[in-house]
Amino acid sequence: MTFAVREILKANGIRGRLASYGPDATFDRHSHSTFYVSIMLLGSMQEHNQYGDEEYLSPHCALMPPGFDHANIYGRHGALDLVFDFEPEMLENQFELRGAGRKAHRINSARVAALVTTLINKPVAWREDGFMDLLTLALSTDEKQDRSPPSWFSRARDFFDDDPCSARVSYVADACGVHLVRVFREFLGMTPTEYRLQAMTIRAAGLLQSGTDDISSVAARAGFADASHFAREMRKRAGLSPSALKSLFAT
């Protein structure tokens, strides 16, 4: 599976979808004719745009104005996104969108889960309110890290991304010759263990959508102790149960 999408909202000029991207999925340079808002629930993405190359790690929220030109390469375990588009004139008065540029920043996992519940499990009127909350988050002040991470940081992340179910913090720290926790929190806003669990969750979510294995088998393959552990992490990070995700993308 490279790309799959399910519509979750179509009302009053707003269109919302849940989009799933397969491992290393690539989208060549493109732009959107409308305002485009996305919230990455799980996974990671490299974006190439007019400002250079940037990496986004879940959970993060982004706003792109009409005509913003970019290309995307998703992470080795893929990604799960909520995406919305709407006409520029629709909400200009409420949100002062005139002249808005590209904005992207990390958001709290708990806020993500609450938004997903509103956007997927509630009636349409509630979903519109959830979209307004999402747009408010997307327009928040960007809090980018001024410093670049140290040279060993990408190597440390690779250990967890390559084999999230087996990598251990102490082993990775020894291999890189550093203390990981402070740097992970500084540059990713999470501990190495949280990063590892996130990698396991997106890996399991991808396996669940692309194969025929049941939830227990997928959980075991991704390194979780059992299906309940997988379900807790999935709800915590994406606001969805594994069974709900599987049903949404069932063919």
Cβ(201)–Cβ(233) under 8 Å? Answer: yes
Residues 6+ apart with CB under 8 A from 233: 197, 200, 201, 224
Cβ(56)–Cβ(107) under 8 Å? Answer: no
Alpha-carbon gap, residue 203 to 161, rounded angstroms: 9
Q: Among 194, 193, 152, 189, which residue's Cα sits nearest to residue 174?
A: 152
CATH architecture of the domain with residue range 3-138:
Sandwich (2.60)
The bridge status of strand 26-30 relative to strand 3-11 is unpaired
Residues 6+ apart with CB under 8 A from 64: 32, 35, 36, 37, 38, 70, 102
Residue range(s) in the chain whose domain bears CATH number 2.60.120.10: 3-138
| Amino acid letter, 163 | D
Alpha-carbon gap, residue 191 to 174, rounded angstroms: 16
Residue range(s) in the chain whose domain bears CATH number 1.10.10.60: 153-248
| Annotation: CATH topology of 153-248 | Arc Repressor Mutant, subunit A (1.10.10)
Q: What is the pLDDT along the chain (251 residues), one digit of tens a residue?
A: 578 888 888 877 788 888 999 888 999 999 888 888 888 888 889 999 888 888 888 888 888 888 889 999 998 888 999 888 877 666 665 666 666 667 788 887 777 787 777 777 777 777 777 777 777 777 665 455 556 777 788 888 887 888 777 777 777 777 776 677 878 888 887 888 888 888 899 999 988 887 778 899 999 998 898 999 999 999 988 888 999 888 888 76
Residues 6+ apart with CB under 8 A from 251: none
